[in-house]
Structure formats: structure tokens, C-alpha cells
Structure 1
Amino acid sequence: MKKLINDPRYIVEEMVEGYVKAHPNHIKQLPENDRALVTARETREGKVGVLIGGGSGHEPGFMGYVGDGMADGVAVGNIFASPSPDPILEVTKAIDKGAGVVYLYGNYAGDVMNFGMAAEMADLEEDIQVGTALASDDVASAPKEEKEKRRGIAGEFFIYKAAGAAADFGYNLDDVVRVAKKANENTRSMGVGLSPCSLPQTGEPSFEIGDDEMEIGLGHHGEPGIEKGPIESADKVADRLVHDILADIEINSGDKVAVLVNGLGSTPRMELYIVYRRVEQILREKGIEIYRSYVGDYITSLEMGGCSVTLMKLDEELERAIDHPVDCPMFVQK
């Protein structure tokens, strides 16, 4: 597959360099580690630091969500791979304002291991208290009775949003973690894959799928879904995704939700809005109120084709968090 790159060995470094140069008013690179990025704006003493991170290839996740109202720093990994503990620790030290730091990341083995190691190092070597909240919103990745095994996909965006707002509100570390975990507990996602992406180092497709096929429940790194079959209309796909979400979480008539229809990298917004149109119809027919909606590329997978639907059930606290203004390079909400 064709790509606009130089040497594949340096693709992440060159991307980070370009990103920092493009957004100098929002983000800066720490001299101690070129994979450690923090907000370029001064944060107040006593504020809980919010640290996010994960593999590259998911842009605008995760660098794009460092800024006012969301994350204070990000640790950047190789493509589809966890950052090592070193940049995580450097970001932790840089964003700690005396109230501790919360780590937000997807439920993947590499991330769990490396962020866990960094948290131990922060505690033992730097005397910084760290709290953790994992994203595990992907309905397809494990049954409901084993939801602790589920991976995080596009719902991570809502968890960043909720935790960033809580930190801005002046919540202490325990309460920021609580809000992040509440956001995760009330968030469900389901995706469909239409075409693979390819890793720059290999140029090979991340999975095999026929030109006339789709895969329900496909993971953001090409992990197998739960069902492969002939491609169907946007309405039928939306029906399936929303059905599986609502079968997994109790959302009733009169409840409010935030909705995200997320592109995986190569799906035109035209198609995402067609999917959103059907999602809105389904929820309206069920008496479920859409409090806020988001449509676009929020957590991608290089040039993968397809999309995911995410619903977050809201209460008053999560409504306030979702309304909070944000100013990040890749996401602004007034």
C-alpha cells in the first residue's frame, strides 16, 4: 500500500517532530525523552495531572488530546505498541503538580505492563501518587460476564473527556479516578471493519477480508471480530452495532447519552454521517435522548476502513464533564 513516508524505522520520530512543530502553542517535547510530550501551557499547582498514551497509528489519538480540559501529557509508543515505562515516567514527573497523576489507557497487555511499571517507579523513585483507569468499552472483545477482559477502543475518548474535566474541576486524585472509571463503566462501543490497514515497516495488510465482506467486532489493531459476512447497507450495520450495545448496557427511554460515530482512518465523513443518521433514528424511536454527538476520526487505525459506534450513558456528573470546554490541537469544544 502506498504511503507518504521516509525511512519506516523513523516514522514515529518524524511524526512527533512534525506534530510538535505544527502545534507549538499546545504541546512540547520533553528533552529527557522524545516520546514524552506535555502541554505547552502552564497548569495550576494542586491540579491532578492527566496522562494518556498508547501506540502510534491511532491519530488523532493520543497526542491530539493533550490540551486545556483534557490530558496534560502523553507517552507515545511505536505503531500499535505500548510506550515503554521511560516516557511515561518522564511525563508523570513533568505534569505532577503535587496532587498526583492519573493514568488513562486501553486494556491491552503491553499497556497494562508498562504503565504499571511506570506507576511503581513514580511511587518508589519520585514519591508521586498515581491512580489508574482502564478503558474497556469494546463489547465484541469479551462476553459481558468477563468484561474486565475487554479492550479499549473509541470509547477512550469519552474517558479522557470525563477525567480531564474532573481534574479541571479541582477533584482530588481518587475522585478523578472514580469519574474516569464511571465513564468507562457507562460506555460501550461496537465496530465494523471493511478494509485492512498496513504497517509502514511491512506494507502488508493487517488482516484478510474480501472485497465484498465486512467484519463485525474487528479490533483497532486488526484483532479478529465476532462475525464475518457479506457487506450490508449502512442502516443494517448501524442497526447491528446499536443492538449489540443496547443488549450489553441498560439504557432506557428518558435516559441521556453521548454518541460517537468514529471513523477508523479511511472512511469518508459522508458515510459516517449516514451511519449517525440511522443511530439517531434508533435512539429516538426508543425514547433515548442524544445529549451530545461526535462524528469523525477520533481514534483511528492508520488507513483502516470501517467505523465504530460508541454510547456513553450520562448522569448529571457525566453531563457536566462532557459539557466542559476543551482546547486541544485535534479537538476543540466551546
Structure 2
Amino acid sequence: MKKFINDPSTALQESLAGFAAAHADIVTLAPSGKFVRRKELKQGKVALISGGGSGHEPLHAGFVGHGMLDAACPGEVFTSPTPDQMVEAVQGVDTGAGCLFIVKNYEGDVMNFDMAAEMASEMAGARVLQVVTNDDMAVEDSTFTTGRRGVAGTLVVEKIVGAAAEAGMDLETLQELGKRVNANTRSFGVALTSCTVPAAGKPTFDIGEDEMEFGVGIHGEPGRRRGKLISADEIAEEICEGIVRELGAARSKPVLLLVNGFGATPLMELYLMHNSARKVLEKQGVNIARSLTGSFVTSLDMAGCSVTVTALEEDMLTLWDAQVHTAALRMGM
């Protein structure tokens, strides 16, 4: 294993320190190191808090800032943050309008965020609601979930709901909006290689040079099937035709197309995949109104990508276009 690393046991803390220093104009690392928060809080605004295991950078800390999250709680690599992290984040960013947790549907995340919401209410009288993302259409149940996994579509929820929170929407309205965005979003990922967790020092799974995993999870969980490597156009056709079927009547709305890299896929290949996905969707009569391509929800050093499609209702389209200023996503500036 070749990594830029000092000690696997301190890698997360050192990475967070570097992240906070590199983006000191946008974020602040809590003295405890338990969460990253927006540097300048907006009084009277609902606070958006997310989090999850590290290794998916820039999710979630990279999306803390104006127009998106107010705080992010990073767990150890592929491990849920603990409830005390979320409670401390609530205490650090709640300015009186309540907090909305945005949680990927993994059993550890859901359980710990549930506990944190209850603890924050009992300890500080905070109002906390939640949105659980489950956009992955690859499998109904997986190694870490009951029901579908929350993957790259989480970014879309954080962006749209973040813009609405910035505009002053109340807690209940934001929760309803987040649920609508999630319901209108479908994702599917494919892996060409495994990822390597630093503490393990070896690939999470073995895969042949001529093989690919269809429907892989962002922790390297198995997907629908293992198959021979095929062309980008063939991959896009299988993914996008399935997504269009899943969206049903919502396919008639303008959509956002997100092509997301898993950490080791060059932008050249991601843009090629965007082109392949675009051709399939347009052939299906889908109107691609907005696009985003890059590595936003990764799996350490995994080669592969996911395709996410969100059917955009009118208010969602406006909110997607709203200004955002974070370390990893900047639009409308």
C-alpha cells in the first residue's frame, strides 16, 4: 500500500487539520476536532448538519459553507460518527431556528443520528428533524443497510435544501423539501477496482483486470453482479435506462445529471461517461437542464463512477442555481 500517510491511527485528525487550514476563510474545525462548521453563522437560519464515515471526501466537510451545510461530523474511515459529535455540532451551530440532519441510509448513521436528535432535544431543548437519503437503486438491501443506500444523491439534497435554508425557509418546510428531492433522485455506481482502507492496508475486495462490479456501494459493498468490463456507452445504457424506468412519470421534468467519480477516476473518463450518459438520456426523451461532473462522493482510491439523475421541480431548479460557496462546490459567484 502506497499512501501519503504518517500513521493510520492519526490520518483523519491530520487530514481535518489540513482541510481547516487550507479553507480557513470558509470553515472552522471545532476545538474538540469532532466537527467542522461554517466560519460565519447566519443568525435565525435553520442549521443543516450532515456527516458520515470519512473516505468519501469532499463529502461532507467539503460542502460546509454558504448555501449548503452549517456543520459536518466526520467519523473514522467508513465508520459512522458518534452521537456526541452530532450533539456538539448542534450546540455549535444552532442559532435558534432548529437543525435539520441530512443522513445517508446506513444503519450506523441512522441509529447514531437518531440518538443524537433525542439527546440534543433532552440536553439543550434543540428542535431537530431529519431527512434520510436512499437514492441508490442498485440494491434494495445491502451489507450496511435496511433498504436502499444513500449515495451521491445526498449532495443534491444538501445543495438544494442548503439554498432553501439560506433563503430563510423554516425547519418543517426544509424537511419536506429534502424528502421531495430524495424521492426524485436515483443513482447507480460501477467499480473498476477496489478501495484500500489505510488501517487495513490491502484492497477491500478482489476484482479481475477484465471485470467490473455493477451497483457497487461507496464502501466497496457488493452490487447487483460482477461482470466483464464493457464500453462506456454500454455501461451508460444499462445505468441510464434503469434510472429512467425508476423515475417513471418524473422523467418528463427537466433533470440534473451528476456523474460522480469514486476517487481514482480521471476527469477525462468522467466527462466521457457524462457524454455517454447524456446520449442515452436524450435518446429516452429526457431534458438535461443542469449537469455536474467530478469526484464529490468518493470511496478513497476506488476507480469507478456513479450516475445520479434528479427530476427537478420548478422550485428545485431555482434552488440548484442559487449561490453556494464551499471548499468543494462553488456556483453563482
2:72 to 71, 74, 79: 74
CA-based RMSD of the aligned residues comes to: 1.3
* 1:258–1:312 CA contact under 8 A, matched in 2: yes
* 2:134–2:151 CA contact under 8 A, matched in 1: yes
Report which stretch shifted further, 206-215 or 244-253.
Answer: 244-253
How many residue pairs get matched? 329
Please name the residue that 1:159 is paired with: 157
Please name the residue that 1:101 is paired with: 99
SS at match of 1:175: helix
Aligned counterparts of 2:98 and 2:250: Cα–Cα separation in 1: 37
1:296–1:248 distance in 2 versus 1, CA, 3 Å: same
Please name the residue that 1:285 is paired with: 283
Q: Which runs of 4+ in 1 moved over 3 A?
A: 251-254
Give the Å deviation of 1:243. 1.4
Please name the residue that 1:30 is paired with: 30
Please name the residue that 1:316 is paired with: 314
Deviations 1:123-157 (A, max 9, x none): 111000001001100001218xxx97111111110
Identical counterparts, % of pairs? 41
* 1:25–1:41 CA contact under 8 A, matched in 2: no
SS at match of 2:40: coil
Please name the residue that 2:10 is paired with: 10
SS at match of 1:270: helix
Give the Å deviation of 1:273. 0.8
Give the Å deviation of 1:245. 1.1
* 2:105–2:148 CA contact under 8 A, matched in 1: yes
Please name the residue that 2:230 is paired with: 232
1:195–1:258 distance in 2 versus 1, CA, 3 Å: same
Deviations 1:245-267 (A, max 9, x none): 11211156752000100000001
* 1:253–1:286 CA contact under 8 A, matched in 2: no
Please name the residue that 1:19 is paired with: 19
Structure 1, unaligned runs of 5 or more: none
Please name the residue that 1:270 is paired with: 268
AA partner of residue 2 (structure 1): K
Structure 2, unaligned runs of 5 or more: none
Aligned counterparts of 1:280 and 1:201: Cα–Cα separation in 2: 38
Please name the residue that 1:177 is paired with: 175
1:149–1:253 distance in 2 versus 1, CA, 3 Å: closer
AA partner of residue 241 (structure 2): H
AA partner of residue 17 (structure 1): A
Deviations 1:5-50 (A, max 9, x none): 001100100000111111111111122x21211101131x221000
Deviations 1:295-327 (A, max 9, x none): 010100000010000000011111111111100
Aligned counterparts of 2:7 and 2:92: Cα–Cα separation in 1: 31
Aligned counterparts of 2:322 and 2:139: Cα–Cα separation in 1: 30
Aligned counterparts of 1:148 and 1:109: Cα–Cα separation in 2: 7
1:251–1:236 distance in 2 versus 1, CA, 3 Å: farther
Aligned counterparts of 2:217 and 2:39: Cα–Cα separation in 1: 33
1:309–1:185 distance in 2 versus 1, CA, 3 Å: same
AA partner of residue 11 (structure 1): A
Please name the residue that 1:242 is paired with: 240
Aligned counterparts of 2:285 and 2:234: Cα–Cα separation in 1: 20
* 1:269–1:296 CA contact under 8 A, matched in 2: yes
1:244–1:46 distance in 2 versus 1, CA, 3 Å: same
Please name the residue that 2:217 is paired with: 219
Please name the residue that 1:40 is paired with: 39
Aligned counterparts of 1:254 and 1:221: Cα–Cα separation in 2: 33
| TM-score, structure 1 normalization | 0.96
SS at match of 1:149: coil
1:39–1:176 distance in 2 versus 1, CA, 3 Å: same
2:118 to 95, 117, 120: 120
